[in-house]
Structure 1
């Protein structure tokens, strides 16, 4: 069962995954495959609040709109659930970000207070002194609140405008610690199209990963997901070439929403793409348009990583749904995303090994090259052959080698050297689990391969 929740932010509670998204939508799943919507719409009937319209009246008054954008829910030590909500006027960064609390994850949430405001034109920003400037100060939306390895609580937030910022929070109240203003700037500015930040820590690599979406969210917006990393929760966050994301922002001399200046930076993990149907495959060819605004989850019991996001689809306009893909940490310490939506190998009729040997990996694939651009172009798959002798031929040429433990390196000459992970993923067009790889270069380009035959 599929559900539509834009900007899905995940939290796991007693074995059930919940996602909370824009327009006060929420859904739940026990298997990360089948989603049941439990709330939607900013109206008095939404069960997440006892009449959200009156509960958050001060927020809606400030934002001059009765709507809510991307939220986040976190459980604090008191066992209660803290719902960080935000409202934005939309055509300007006049926004409010606040906090509501509930005893149960499904609510009802009781409003606590507004934490941050933006868009106070002609008046001061959050430091109470400096006049609000949308080129350098944030639009206070898209919160993600997370604990670091020392037990400190942080909130990362922001969209377009002055970029993405981070604040240290009080672990007992859920409010920001005083005296920080808007906090520390991490990425973006000058109205660059960067938003939807989410931080995930990997106990495997010991890095904090900051996911962001570049581009615009609609079908023509070229949304794509990127990641950078840091040894510290509050940065600096770097890409594989060592670029500090704090320097990544649009050029104010160029027209508004200049993408060209920001496109070279960060590790692009997914953008517009579509797999062609191979011989014997049926159904609508799998592909995504403007996938983004993700959250992410690490499952300690299995050591698995999951990317949870919304996406649109080729040829279906603004229809969007939740998708979940497994992620892996490659040999270079970067997340790489499986090419197909998640399904456990246990779903197969016969037992399948999670191990993909060198012999298993040799064969014909349809390959997606996600590139590094911010563009509405749908990247179509091309056929490549990974031969048993270690050569790559077809639409790309080079060499490949199996590095043991499901690791693979694919060298494609000037296109780059891609460090990746092999796995078996469910290809709905083939109605089968197939061998796949997902790999990434130091340039921040990701390639995917899905096995199509011998």
Structure 2
């Protein structure tokens, strides 16, 4: 028999059938919902992902069908979504009667899917539906596995009391902390798969290249613009003579790129321009072996032809609107078309459609479509990565200059088509971004610039980045060169893991990549604690942003040098709101701190103004 002894007490708190509350009852998070009567937990029956699947109680199994993402949507109303199915807890069929069933359904945000929480001050909550005003209850005082959960008039007895216990996960372990570092300036990465084994190659300036099986330990393959370089059969001077003749300089080559053609051959994009003017070129060489020897097939683009017709028929070359023909990157779009994006300073970044059999642009395109920059904007090193997760093409570029005091920083814009237009987080069309540093600094999503975690490590002028996607694990990696505080112009390659946040933007992990054993899942218990916090801001910073200390507290507040709130949900979805700085959506993850030689929780998040913040515990 149902007891109503406490009903009169609870009715005093009910207004219009719903609990009145001015304070947030619960922080957003991922929870197990445990019933006070049975000590069993809310469960999607049979691990179903279907609309209409029944909600029952069951003994804890640790399954994702017993985990729920709880999100406050305003006015003490919460959406409660199954981590397993991505579907929301709902009173079925708009039924307001006692005994109506509770199921899961695709989230649409209606009142039948919204719930108010009544804090009972005993570690439990009443869970009251916004539509019906009735509470989630284990029927008939049933303590058995499989007992049904439905709604009933709220009386706050034990079958209607639910504890929201934060989810916990096993921590991963470090697979290896061994690194073999390499210096390759402007590294462009290519994943070469042979018989299921992937070798990662990076190709950069001065015909340097290196390879790795794990993105942690690198072996040099080539280096130097001389006839000791194996990439061109120890004959680089003759093989690339056409380009050297155009600039009059056979001592340098800039940021190379490699792609595999539809024929199975590899295309190596070599390029160079003078340091004092945009007289530059890009050419293609091919080889059946990714490590060479490559044979030149000719120049495909030229720039800096003062007073003469440019690659655009009928137009005299103008460096404020026409590109410097260097920094090429070739890639395939999701439909298999091949594209070549390129450009540095001068007239900006351009893109051309290319022939996948030769690697060369189709005729009649001139310099191609303008994507970004102009008027000698300090923008270069474009690299485009498609994400099957988000459906966007991401164009990574470097703003600033490459020297240790040059302010190199990594920015990104996105598009739904490979040839643009590309937009930043504020909706600005990047094709309109041009001018000096102060003119361009507000635009693009700044993922990282120079920074220093006090007592740990830091970078100066990180940039000329590339990225790679690992489909078997769903991981993204950002590869770049960087200089270091108090180290002059010494530079090395670094690899950081990237993630896609809830707004569809990439965020970069604060620590360098190290392989893990186990799943990289962070829970609330891991995240609580003290962090070194870096705000990358939006400027083209020529000195390192210094970290400050903040505390992520168990009650969802932030204290220390900044105050605010934070929360964590499934899939490491992380949010932090900081007074005076704004709100940031990102991803938490375990990363390797080389200074302390241990795995630590971290977060990386972006504001809707395109500003990144990092934290490392």
TM-score band, normalised by shorter chain: over 0.9
Distance 1:152 1:45 in 2: 36
* 1:259 is the counterpart of 2:437: yes
Aligned to 2:211: 28
Match runs of 1:183-222 below 5 Å: 183-222=368-407
Q: Which runs of 5+ in 2 are unaligned?
A: 1-179
Distance 2:342 2:349 in 1: 6
Match runs of 1:268-283 below 5 Å: 268-277=446-455
Q: Deviation of residue 128 (structure 1)?
A: 3.3
Aligned to 1:446: 612
Match runs of 1:15-414 below 5 Å: 15-50=198-233, 51-66=235-250, 67-250=252-435, 258-277=436-455, 285-346=456-517, 353-414=519-580
Q: Deviation of residue 4 (structure 1)?
A: 0.4
Distance 1:176 1:183 in 2: 9
Q: Deviation of residue 353 (structure 1)?
A: 4.6
Aligned to 1:4: 183
Aligned to 2:595: 429
Aligned to 1:349: none
Q: Deviation of residue 90 (structure 1)?
A: 1.4
CA shift digits 1:228-286 (9 cap, x unpaired):
00000000000011000000000xxxxxxx20000000100010001112xxxxxxx31
CA shift digits 1:374-432 (9 cap, x unpaired):
02121111100010111111111111111322111100133111101011000011110
Instruction: Tell me if the contact between 2:242 and 2:298 (Cα under 8 Å) persists in the aligned partners.
Output: no
Distance 2:509 2:378 in 1: 25
Q: Deviation of residue 359 (structure 1)?
A: 2.0
Distance 2:519 2:218 in 1: 27
Q: Out of 54-63 and 324-333, give the one that drifted further.
A: 54-63
Between Structure 1 and Structure 2, whose CA radius of gyration is higher? 2
Match of 1:13 among 180, 192, 202: 192
Q: Secondary structure at the match of 1:60?
A: helix
Aligned to 2:581: 415
Q: Secondary structure at the match of 1:287?
A: strand
Tell me the TM-score normalized by structure 1: 0.94
Distance 2:478 2:227 in 1: 32
Q: Secondary structure at the match of 2:431?
A: helix
Distance 2:285 2:512 in 1: 33
Q: Secondary structure at the match of 1:376?
A: coil
Distance 1:89 1:377 in 2: 27
CA shift digits 1:284-325 (9 cap, x unpaired):
x31100000000000000000000000000000100001000
Q: Secondary structure at the match of 1:261?
A: helix
CA shift digits 1:151-187 (9 cap, x unpaired):
1100000000000000000112211011100000000
Q: Deviation of residue 6 (structure 1)?
A: 0.3
Instruction: Tell me if the contact between 2:448 and 2:612 (Cα under 8 Å) persists in the aligned partners.
Output: yes
Q: Secondary structure at the match of 1:368?
A: strand
Q: Secondary structure at the match of 1:206?
A: coil
Instruction: Tell me if the contact between 2:460 and 2:543 (Cα under 8 Å) persists in the aligned partners.
Output: no
CA shift digits 1:26-75 (9 cap, x unpaired):
01111101111111110011000021111111101101211110011000
Q: Which runs of 5+ in 1 are unaligned?
A: 251-257, 278-284, 347-351
Q: Secondary structure at the match of 1:161?
A: coil
Tell me the TM-score normalized by structure 2: 0.69
Distance 1:144 1:60 in 2: 20
Distance 2:580 2:265 in 1: 53
Distance 1:444 1:173 in 2: 38
After superposing on structure 2, the runs of 4+ consecutive aligned residues of structure 1 that deviate more than 3 Å are none
RMSD between aligned residues: 0.8
Q: Secondary structure at the match of 2:340?
A: strand
Q: Secondary structure at the match of 1:235?
A: coil
